[in-house]
Amino acid sequence: MCIGPQGSENISGQATLCFNGDKSDFHGSITSQDASLYVISGVKCVNTGEEISDNADGIEHDEELYSPAFYNIRIFDCDIGEVYDLQRVRAWSGEFCTFNCKCLSFVPEKIYCGDRAAMMTKQLLGQKMDGSKVLVGNISVRC
């Protein structure tokens, strides 16, 4: 569910998402195809016991490698100052995290960890995140 300004907003572009070590939250940026800049962050929701079928998003997921998770996500449009809140966005979390639902689609194309991830998080966020992973890929958001 998206909570934000009236009307629909579609954002497509390149995202860089910096996840902390336990994937309980992430921070990052989106550069859209028209060069607009957005800040994105998310916090993993407490599991409410909601059932998720293996392929609710049309993609088969290996339950041994990936587990379902939900994130509350906030996107800030740096050009016009609007904020969009996406609540309980379904993700598949394992070695890395993917989102594939009606309101947000993100599959990483590049994954960085170790010293490279620490350097990237410091550049993007101004601080290091211990045990972080940085995921870079195309993102599509519909609010």
Tens-digit pLDDT profile for residues 43-95: 999 766 554 443 444 444 445 456 788 999 999 999 999 999 999 898 887 77
Tens-digit pLDDT profile for residues 6-32: 456 789 999 999 998 888 899 999 999
Look at 109 and 132; give whichever has higher pLDDT: 109
Res 53: pLDDT: 41
Res 6: pLDDT: 46
Res 96: pLDDT: 78
Mean pLDDT, residues 31-47 taken together: 92
Using a cut of 0.85, tell me whether the model's pTM lies above it: no
128 has a pLDDT exceeding 50: yes
Chain centroid, CA 78 distance in Å: 17
Contact at 8 Å (CB) between 84 and 4? Answer: yes
Q: Residue type at 76?
A: F
Chain centroid, CA 54 distance in Å: 20
114 has a pLDDT exceeding 50: yes
d(CA 11, CA 25): 21
Report how far apart, in Å, the C-alpha atoms of 77 and of each of 14, 31, 64, 67 are: 14, 10, 37, 30
Instruction: Render the burial of 77-113: b for 16+ CB within 10 Å, e for the rest.
Output: beeeeeebebeebbbbbeebbbbbeebbbbebeebbb
Three-state secondary structure call for residue 54: coil
Nearest of 4, 37, 10 to residue 103 by alpha carbon:
10
Res 126: pLDDT: 81
Band (112; pLDDT cuts 50, 70, 90): very high
